[in-house]
Structure 1
Amino acid sequence: MLSKLIRRMLPNSWIERMSDKSGRDRPPVKDFSKLDENQKIRYQELSTSFKEKYGKLPQFFASVPGRVNLIGEHIDYCGYSVLPMAVEQTIIIAAHMTNDDKISLSNKDPEFEDHECSIDNITIDKSSVTWYTYFLCGLQGIKDNAEDKKLRGLQCMVDGNIPRCAGLSSSSALVCCSSLAVAYSNGFKFSKIKLAEMCASSERYCGTEGGGMDQSIAFMAESGQAKLISFNPLTAVPVQLPPGVVFVVSNSCVKMHKAATCHYNVRVVECRLAAQVIAKKKNLDWQSLRKLSEIQEALKYDVKEMLTCVKELLHSEPYTKEEICSLLEVSSQELAETSLSANTLHVEQFKLYDRATHVYGEASRVLEFKAICDMPSEDACQRLGQLMNESHTSCSKLYECSCEELDKLVEICLKSGALGSRLTGAGWGGCAVSLVPQEIVESFLEKVKTEHYLTNPERANKVTESLFASRPGGCAFICKKIKEQ
C-alpha cells in the first residue's frame, strides 16, 4: 500500500524510466579513463593480480557498492519502505570470458581459496557458506533467467574493500556483482530493477530470506543522494539529505554471518507468524498473507491503527509453537510448510508482539525521516537524529538484533557529538551509523577512535577500515578493460 501511494506521487515519465519494460535504465558502462585517480590505482592493481593469476588481462570489470541503511531496519522483508544510501566502498570483479562452460574464481585476498565449477553443475551448500557461495548465488540468478541460453565461462578475480560481516552488505554486493558480470559477459540487457529483483531472489539460495533493500540500492543508487526504496512494485525515490551534516560509519568489529546463523531468519518467520495470527483473528485468508504490510493493506488501516491492532490482538509474552498451531488451526507439520523456514524448524518460541510493534513503528519512522528531508526546517537535523535514536532503541529492545558491543558503540557515538546513532544492517554485530554535524567530524572521529578502538588491540588494528565518513555513492557499473601499458 505504501509503495503504491509513493508511486502515484511520481511523474509518469519517471515511472516509465523505472519500468522494466522501458529497458533504458541499465547499469552504466564506464571507460577506465573516466574513473577517479584512486579508482584507477585500485583497478590497475587488480588487473596486475589478475594477469599474474591467469596469464592475461581482464576484459572488463564489474563494480557494486556496499550500502548503509540510514533508517528502516528489518522491515523490507515485511513489505515496507527503507531508506539506504550506497557507500563508496565496493566489490569489484575482474573478468575474462572463455569458450567453455567453466567458472574459475579467485580472490585478490590470499586468505580466500580458489574455486572452480561448471555452469551446468553449480552446487550451493547452505550448510557451509563460503565467500564464493555468494558469487554462485548471483550466477544461478542469471542462469534462472537465461531462457535456455547456454552461458559462457568466466575467469574471475574478486577484490572488495567493504568491511566483511559488518552490516554494510558485502555479501549482497558480491551476489549483485556476480550477476552483473555474468549478465554483461553473455549480452543480457537486464534493467537495474530486473537485476535487483533477480539478485534478491537468488541470494536465498544460500539460505538468507532477505527483503531486497541491499540489491535495490546497489543497482539504483545515485551519487549524492539517499533513496527511499519501496517494494511491490520496486521503486527508488531520491532523498536529498540536509546540508551541514555527514553520516559516519563505525564498525563494532563484532562479526555476524547472516547466512551462517538462524537469528535473521527467525525474525523473518516471527514477522510472518505475527501477520498470519493477526489475519486469522481478523477473519482474513491468513495462508495467502505473509507480510505485515499485506495485513495493513487488507485492513485499510494506517500505521497507528496497526500498532493499536497489535496491542489488541497479540500478547506480549512469547508464543509457543503449540499455541500458534492452535490459533491457526494447523498441525506442526502444516505450520512448517506454511510459515517456517528450513533453519527455523527447531524454534519453539516466537515473540510476535515485539517484532510486529518494531516493524510498524519503524515503517512510520522511515516516512517521517523522508518528510523531514523533503521539507527541511531549522531543527531538521535534530529531528532526524531523534528518529535514528528511536530506531536503535526499537532494534535493541523490541527486535533484539543488537548486541552489547554495538549498544556501547552507539552510546560512545552519541557522547562524542552525534545527533543520532543506530545500528545499521542485520545487527547482532556490525556497524553503527551516526548523523554528525560537519564542523565536528574530525573531533568526533578522534573521540570514537579513542573510546572504542584504542581500548582494544584487535579493534585498534582495524580502525582505518572501520571508522569513516561516507558520501552517498553511485550505483553498480561495468568498466571497460585497461589497455596494457
Structure 2
Amino acid sequence: MTDHQREFGVAPDGAWSAPGRVNLIGEHTDYNEGFVLPLALPHSAVATVTARDDRTLRLRSRDVGDRVVELSLDRLLPGEVPGWAAYPAGVAWALERAGHRLRGADVFIASEVPTGAGLSSSAALEVVTALAFSDLNGLGLTAPELARIGQLAENDFVGMPCGILDQMASASCAEGHVLHLDTRDLGGRQVPFDMAAEGLRLLVVDTRVKHAHADGAYGRRRAECEAGAAALGVPFLRDVPFDGLAAALARIDDEAVRRRVRHVVTEDRRVARVVALLDAGRAREIGPLLTEGHASLRDDFEVSCPELDLAVDTANAAGALGSRMTGGGFGGSAIALVPEESVAAVGKAVTDAFAGAGLAAPRIFEAVPAPGARRLPV
C-alpha cells in the first residue's frame, strides 16, 4: 500500500514530479525582465493525486506536519492558508482565477528538495501541483503557462514577490542542459552543460542558514529596482544598455538604487558572457564570471551573508574555478565550479571552515542537470 492509499483510502490517478533548481548565473534579473541560466536538480517534489467529484481539496505532506489539510475550492482566499499548504492551494486558486474550474482532489506530496536552501522548493511544489491539476482537468497547459500559474500563486496568494525564474526552471529545464531564458517573453534555449565530459563538477553548498529578514528585504530590492527603472525612464532595468551604464548611473541620486541598477545590468551581461563561453566549449573559463557575480550580489545588491561569503571564499581558495551564491540570498546555497580532482579538497575545506567558525556542517552535493516537470509512470 502506498502512502497515498494509506492516507486517503484510494489509489492515485497518477503521479507527477517537478524539480528544484540552481541558477548558474543571472540572479535577481528575472523580475527585471532580464536573462537567467538555471538548471534543474535531481531533487524533486512528487505529487500523487486522486481527482474527486466534489470541490474539496485535501492536502497531505510526507515531510511537513502530521495531518491532512482540508479546504474548499469555493473558499480559497489569499493569506488564509498557513504553512506549506498555501503553495498547492495557491495554485488551485490561481488556476480558478485564470478561468479554469477544477475538480476537487486528494493530493499527497513528497519532496526531496531541501527547504530554505535557495533551491526553489516552493516552485517545485507549485509546478508539480499545477501540472497534476492541468492533466487531471484536461487543461493542456504549456510549461510557460504552468510557470505563470505558479508565480501568480506565490505572488498573490502566498505573498512573496518573486520573479518567474524558479517556476520556469522547474517546468521546462532539460536533462544535461542549462536553460538560457529571456524572462520578458519566456523564450529560451537549452544550452548543453555536460560538466563531467570536461572534467568538471558543479557543487552545491547548502549553508543550512536562512536569515529571518529575507522576505522583506527581497521585496525592498524589487522596489529599488523599480525605482531605478522609473528614474531612467525605462519599463524595466533589462532595457538599460550595458554600454550606457555609466551614464545611466550618473542620473540616479539614491546610492542604494544606483548599486541595485549596476548589479542587474552587469548580471545580464554576465549571463550573455557565460552562454557564449559554453557555446564555444570553454566551460572552464566561466569560473571568474561566477565569482564576479557573487561580488556584485554581495556588494551592490547586498543579498549575501557571512555564511555564503565563507563558502565562496573557501571554495575558491581550495581549488574551485569560481563560486557564487545562488537563489534569493540571505542564506541558502552557494555553487562552486570545481575540477573533478579538487572535489574532495574543496568539500573538506568548506566543511572545516564552517566548523572553525562554529557553524553547523553544510550539506554539499553535486548538481547534475536533470529533467523538468513531468508525469511519472505508475
Same fold at TM > 0.5: yes
Structure 1 position 220, deviation (Å) = 1.2
Out of 323, 326, 339, which is 1:437 matched to? 339
- Aligned pairs for 1:303-382 within 5 A: 303-305=242-244, 307-315=245-253, 317=255, 351-377=256-282, 380-381=283-284
- Aligned pairs for 1:69-468 within 5 A: 69-109=23-63, 111=65, 113-125=67-79, 129-147=82-100, 150-205=101-156, 206-241=158-193, 243-256=198-211, 261-279=215-233, 289-294=234-239, 296=240, 302-305=241-244, 307-315=245-253, 317=255, 351-377=256-282, 380-381=283-284, 383-452=285-354, 456=358, 459-460=360-361, 466-468=363-365
Structure 1 position 311, deviation (Å) = 2.7
Query: C-alpha separation between the residues in 2 aligned to 1:152 and 1:93?
Result: 16
Classify the secondary structure of the residue corresponding to 1:390: helix
Contact 2:58–2:106 (8 Å) recurs in 1: yes
Paired residues, number: 374
CA distance 1:456–1:159, shift in 2 (3 Å): farther
- Aligned pairs for 1:469-480 within 5 A: 469-480=366-377
Question: Greater strand share, 1 or 2?
Answer: 2
Residue of structure 2 in register with 1:12 after alignment:
none
Instruction: Map Cα deviations across residues 212-252 of structure 1 (whole Å, 9 max, x no partner).
Output: 11111111111011110112321121112352211100111
Structure 1 position 129, deviation (Å) = 4.9
Instruction: Map Cα deviations across residues 401-435 of structure 1 (whole Å, 9 max, x no partner).
Output: 01111111211211222111110000000000110
Query: C-alpha separation between the residues in 1 aligned to 2:76 and 2:212?
Result: 22
Contact 1:141–1:179 (8 Å) recurs in 2: no
Instruction: Map Cα deviations across residues 73-92 of structure 1 (whole Å, 9 max, x no partner).
Output: 10111011101100110011
> TM-score under structure 2 normalisation?
0.93
Structure 1 position 256, deviation (Å) = 4.7
Alignment-mate amino acid for residue 322 of structure 2: G
Alignment-mate amino acid for residue 199 of structure 2: G
Instruction: Map Cα deviations across residues 200-220 of structure 1 (whole Å, 9 max, x no partner).
Output: 233212222222111111111
Gap regions ≥5 residues in structure 2: none
CA distance 1:112–1:367, shift in 2 (3 Å): farther
Query: C-alpha separation between the residues in 2 aligned to 1:207 and 1:269?
Result: 15
> TM-score under structure 1 normalisation?
0.73
Gap regions ≥5 residues in structure 1: 1-46, 280-288, 297-301, 318-350
Q: RMSD of the alignment, in Å?
A: 2.0
Structure 1 position 131, deviation (Å) = 0.7
Query: C-alpha separation between the residues in 1 aligned to 2:371 and 2:105?
Result: 26
Query: C-alpha separation between the residues in 2 aligned to 1:244 and 1:387?
Result: 19
Query: C-alpha separation between the residues in 2 aligned to 1:454 and 1:153?
Result: 52
Classify the secondary structure of the residue corresponding to 2:203: strand
Residue of structure 2 in register with 1:57 after alignment:
11
Query: C-alpha separation between the residues in 1 aligned to 2:355 and 2:67?
Result: 30
Query: C-alpha separation between the residues in 1 aligned to 2:265 and 2:6?
Result: 52
Classify the secondary structure of the residue corresponding to 1:252: strand
CA distance 1:136–1:110, shift in 2 (3 Å): closer
Alignment-mate amino acid for residue 367 of structure 2: S
Pair member with larger Rg: 1
Worse-superposed segment, 359-368 or 177-186: 177-186
Classify the secondary structure of the residue corresponding to 2:75: coil
Worse-superposed segment, 233-242 or 186-195: 233-242
Query: C-alpha separation between the residues in 2 aligned to 1:256 and 1:136?
Result: 26
